[in-house]
Amino acid sequence: MVVSRYLVLKNYSELDTDALALLGFKGEDLGSVYSDVNEYLGGLLTRVAELGDFKGELREEEVITLYSVREGGPRRVILVGGGELGSADYEVLRMYAGYAVSRARSLGIKKLGIALRVVNNDPKSSLRALAEGAELANYAFSKYRKDVKLLDEVVVVGREPIEGSDEVLKEVSVIGEAYRLARDLANTPPEEANPDTLEEVIKEVFKDLPNTRVKVLKEKDLRREGLNGIIAVGKGSERRPRLVIIEYRGGGSKWYALVGKGVCFDSGGINLKRSKWITDMKFDKAGAMAVLATTYAVAKLKLPINLVALLPLVENMPSGSAIKPGDIIRMYNGLTVEVVTTDAEGRLILADSIAYAVRNYRPEFIIDLATLTGSIVVALGNQAAGLFSNDEGLAKLIEEAAKESGERVWRMPLWREYFDDIKSEVADIKNLGYERVAGAQAGAAFLAKFTEGTKWAHLDIAGTAWTQDEGPKKPYYPKGATGYGIRLLINLLKKLH
Q: Which residues are catalytic?
A: 273, 347
Please name the helix (run of DSSP H) or strand (run of DSSP E) that holds residue 307, with its range, or none: strand 306-316
Q: What are phi and psi of 157, to 5 degrees?
A: -110, 130
Burial (Cβ within 10 Å: 0-12, 13-18, ≥19) of residue 71:
exposed
Please name the helix (run of DSSP H) or strand (run of DSSP E) that holds residue 327, with its range, or none: none
Query: Does residue 362 come out as left (phi exceeding 0), alpha (psi in the -120 to 50 range) or beta?
Result: left
- Rounded CA Rg of the chain: 24
CA–CA gap between residue 286 and residue 264 (Å, rounded)? 9
CA nearest neighbour of 271 among 120, 480, 396, 432: 432
CA–CA gap between residue 374 and residue 488 (Å, rounded)? 22
CA–CA gap between residue 369 and residue 484 (Å, rounded)? 9
Angle at 221 between CA 219 and CA 222, to 5 degrees: 65
**Residues 331/352, Cβ–Cβ less than 8 Å:** yes
**Residues 164/153, Cβ–Cβ less than 8 Å:** no
Beta strands per DSSP E along 179-268 = 212-217, 242-249, 255-260, 262-266
Q: Where are the alpha helices (DSSP H) in 188-216?
A: 195-206
Angle at 217 between CA 342 and CA 426, to 5 degrees: 35
**Residues 278/267, Cβ–Cβ less than 8 Å:** yes
DSSP character at residue 141: -
CA–CA gap between residue 360 and residue 230 (Å, rounded)? 17
CA–CA gap between residue 261 and residue 350 (Å, rounded)? 6
Which residues, in sequence order, are CB contacts of 416 under 8 Å at separation 6+? none
Q: Where are the alpha helices (DSSP H) in 86-191?
A: 90-106, 123-137, 165-187
Q: Give first-to-last CA distance, the chain, whole Å.
A: 27
Say how many residues make up the chain: 497
**Residues 219/241, Cβ–Cβ less than 8 Å:** yes
